Structure 1
Amino acid sequence: MSRLAAAALRRGVAASRGHTSSRLTSSMPASVRLFSADASGETTATAADSQDDSFLKSSNEGLAYGRFYGVIGGGNRLEKNMLKTDIIHHLDKCGLSLDDVKIDYNRGFFPLGALLRFPSKAAFTTAIRQANQNRLYRIEGISRDEWDLKQSYGGKAVLLQGVPRNALPEDIERFLCGTNFEPPPFESFLRPGVPEPIRMVLVKFRTKTDAMNAFITKNRSFCLNNQVSMRVLQ
């Protein structure tokens, strides 16, 4: 074989191998080609998780707390029948839930205001702006400690008003017969009234539904000879 023929043969073999290599590369399964991308994607996801954790942490640290109250009628308090949902509706641009509202009662269980937990400082600022629009309510900042120390009844407690002063726990249980109340001891105290002090009894229930059912079925019923009014505490 001549030198020219041998050289031509070698060039043909090399070209054939190059085309074969190209065909093999183009026909490799997608999963094989994406192996390095998968590893990269896992690293990216881990970084994203880290960013999410950082965001949640910063959001938690950004919580703000405030007191919501009315300014009409010469006193800083809430309307007696105002509900948590009323407050949330009034501050509808602040992202509040029922768990973010605690009603602040005095010793006679009159609502003085509501403690609020905002998801951010910006939401707190928005709430102040919304409250100032109609000039019926005000919001002032409070500490987290004040929020943490305030008990929330969460609609699971009912206040009985007008219970006879001589009524025993057994009498109150008979009055509540048919409802799913928590057993004694009940919290009982006197509130100033005319012509004599009014006895009040706080009864706790296992769920909001139980408390509301008791209110619906027993409100204005009689314990011994006294008519008893009931109010669900929020």
Structure 2
Amino acid sequence: MSKLCLLSRSVLKHRVALVDPLRRVPLRSFSSGEEQQESPADGIRQEEPGGHVADFSQGPVYGRLLGFGKNTLKTDIIHLFEGCNLSTSDVKFEYNNGFAPISLMLQFPSESFYEAATKLIIKKGRLYNLHKISSGQWDITESHDGKTVLLLGFQRSPTREELERFLSGFDYDGSSLRILSGRGPPGTVDSARTMVTFRASSALKASAFQIQKNRSLCINSPIFVRVLQ
């Protein structure tokens, strides 16, 4: 009987020895590799000025810039705000009814980039004025992207047929052709009260048209060609 008891105890100890190692293994070692990795932060993250990481989940910040010259280009603004993560699609020119530029709309990726831009303005002697605007003001401002061509200098309002002859051989969107009334912008012929705009198929072709057709005659008048940004 005692041998049977000893045998039973031996079997029981053997079973406990088999189970014990599992009890001592930390639970974390059974988690998958994906569970052990930290979840990536929500939203897009990018390095800000100063080496910090920006969280763009808050959305972009919009500003209006004043004080620039009439011949300023989008690339000039991007160079001015170097390090503020601006591209040409983040810059819009606001024009008055005579197509004279009156302000620049800017779209910054985050508040920190906007603040960096204001510091750059201070550093450069406050030659420009930058203030915040709403996203609605940005949305309603038309972006010409260097594809809109402006014609000035007409002594009378041209017919569509006359314009089509003037534009013959040029690749443009016929549905975008518009004849407008109003005084031309400063620096153009004062008597130019009729303006024409249309969209070229690309910014490169718009620039080529300006080079080829500037001061060409249409209905016996020299026509001044500008490209809107």
What is the TM-score with the length of structure 2 in the denominator? 0.74
For residues 207 and 171 of structure 1, do their structure 2 counterparts lie closer, same or farther at Cα, with a shift above 3 Å needed? same
Q: Does the C-alpha gap of structure 1 residues 180 and 164 become closer, same or farther in structure 2, counting only changes over 3 Å?
A: farther
Which one of 160, 174, 192 corresponds to residue 165 of structure 2?
174
Cα distance, 1:184 vs structure 2 = 4.4
Letter in structure 2 aligned against 1:156: K
Deviations 1:149-201 (A, max 9, x none): 11111111000001241421111111112210111462222233777452110
> What is the match of residue 97 of structure 1?
87
SS of equivalent residue, structure 1 residue 112: strand
Out of 173, 178, 182, which is 1:187 matched to?
Answer: 178
Kept in 2, the 8 Å contact 1:159–1:232? The answer is yes
Aligned counterpart for 1:40 among listed residues 21, 27, 32: 32
Secondary structure at the counterpart of residue 136 of structure 1: coil
Identity of aligned residues (%): 38
Matched, 1:67 2:37: no
RMSD (Å) for aligned C-alpha atoms: 2.6
The whole-number CA distance in structure 2 between the counterparts of 1:195 and 1:143 is: 35
| Pair 1:157-2:152 in alignment | no
- Give 1:67 deviation, angstroms: 0.5
Separation in 2, partners of 1:216, 1:45: 59
User: Does 88-97 or 192-201 show the bigger shift?
Assistant: 192-201
Report which of the two has the higher share of helix. 1
Q: How many residues align?
A: 190
Structure 1: gaps of 5 or more residues: 1-35, 71-77
Structure 1 residue 53 displacement after superposition: 3.9
What TM-score comes out, normalization by structure 1 length?
0.72
Alpha-carbon separation, structure 1, partners of 2:190 and 2:93:
29
Show structure 1 runs of 4+ deviating over 6 A: none
Give the aligned partner of residue 97 of structure 2. Answer: 107
Match of 1:137 in 2: 128
> Any idea what the Cα deviations from partners look like across 1:98-156, whole Å, max 9, x if unmatched?
01101011111110110001011111111111122222111011111111111111111
Which has the higher mean CA deviation after the structures are superposed, 202-211 or 53-62? 53-62
SS in 1 for 2:174: coil
Matches within 5 A, 1:4-83: 40-43=32-35, 47-48=39-40, 51-53=41-43, 55=45, 58-70=55-67, 78-83=68-73
Q: 1:228, CA displacement in angstroms? A: 0.4
Provide the C-alpha distance between the structure 2 equivalents of 1:230 and 1:166, rounded to a whole number of angstroms: 16
SS of 1:95's partner is coil
Residue 52 of structure 1 and its aligned partner are, at CA, apart by 4.8
Is 1:63–1:118's contact at 8 Å kept on the other side of the alignment? yes
